[in-house]
Amino acid sequence: MADPKLERGGTNFDSSSSTTLTLFNTQTESVRKSANLINLPLPVTDSSGALVFDLLGTTREIAVRGKHTTSDATVGNFTGDLNSLIDGNQGNTGSAQIGYKYTPVSISGAAADNTIRVYVNDVNWDFRAGEPNTVEYNLILFEVDPSNSG
């Protein structure tokens, strides 16, 4: 599996001089597309009598999981960069960019350059005993329309 990447606008990530964060050793990329329907079951009726409303639009959620290992103690730089993903501006540089530019492993609907725009909703990582240079990470990304101002 190729390692996906997140690119931010004109500012670098916290622990590196790069504007691109490679999500090293990605093990899974899961995609969930939801209609966000509102299901309103009616009292004393079967499920076929429920009213369903499509008021909230469609969302795509991407879960990325991986395990990054380095040969030295720089794994903390990677977690610093992960932490900086949710820093209050989500990669924006004024009107120049909305969210992060994400290069997925494989998602239909990606642009011709194989990227989509995303906001990072959740970031978490775990260290394991006996693996001082390894961090397991999880990201939850939401696809966004770059023509919206966020």
- Tell me the torsion sign for CA atoms 128, 130, 135, 137: negative
Q: How many domains does the chain have?
A: 1
Residue 38 sits in a domain whose CATH number is 2.40.30
Tokens of 2: 């190729």
Tallying the residues shown for the chain, one arrives at 150
Whether residue 73 is contained in a domain is answered as yes
pLDDT digits (tens, 9 = 90+) for 17-68: 788 888 888 888 888 999 999 999 999 989 888 999 998 888 999 999 999 8
pTM, 2 dp = 0.80
Task: Kindly provide the b/e burial profile for residues 133-148, where b requires at least 16 CB atoms within 10 angstroms of the residue's own CB.
Answer: eebbbebbbebbeeee
Residue 133: its H or E element? strand 131-144
Among residues 23, 24, 54, which one has the least CA distance to residue 118?
23
Domain around 71: 5-144
Whether residue 149 is contained in a domain is answered as no
Spatial contact of 125 and 81, defined as CB atoms under 8 Å apart: no
pLDDT digits (tens, 9 = 90+) for 5-23: 888 877 777 777 788 888 8
Q: Is the pLDDT of residue 149 over 50?
A: no
